[in-house]
A and B are shown apart, each in its own frame.
Chain A
Amino acid sequence: AQRVTQPEKLLSVFKGAPVELKCNYSYSGSPELFWYVQYSRQRLQLLLRHISRESIKGFTADLNKGETSFHLKKPFAQEEDSAMYYCALSGTGGSEKLVFGKGTKLTVNP
């Protein structure tokens, strides 16, 4: 079964501290992994996807197939990073529907 687990519902850090949002997945095959972010009063938007290997707004995520994880990291959190973060996966080929985790609400305190 396809499943995405984000174990932390809430995560609070201080500005300048490192942050890691955890994501584990279950999928038989080779999925594509994504992180989406939703800032307050804004729509859901793509933050990054594993195939692009980009760093967006200082965030990175590495796909670990052995641990079936795709944790999102940033070395120095900023207050503007406060948002809801959703990890998602899709299959390769087919309808490419997204399977989402329940999300982690990140709060970066001043």
Chain B
Amino acid sequence: TAGITQAPTSQILAAGRSMTLRCTQDMRHNAMYWYRQDLGLGLRLIHYSNTAGTTGKGEVPDGYSVSRANTDDFPLTLASAVPSQTSVYFCASRDSGTIAYTFGSGTRLTVV
């Protein structure tokens, strides 16, 4: 089934450790996004990429980095995790022709 695959589904991470959340899409969408979801705050944009080779900062980029080496993959890296990064992370992609967004199933990250 076409869509977005996120991995892992959930993770418990010790503070100070690094981690990469993976996101892969098979729809050849140009634009991809990382959001974090926190109760009472909705989804907030962390980083985005309008096309392979380019990235941009969203609303809450601090402590996160991304890369976009190709169209399909958009990994999100936490260099040194802190407890405030405990959240559910959603990857999304957008078909530039129709403004149709597709969301992944999310990664639940707990930083202890």
Same assembly: no
Give me the interface of A with B, judged by CB distance under 8 Å: none
Give me the interface of B with A, judged by CB distance under 8 Å: none
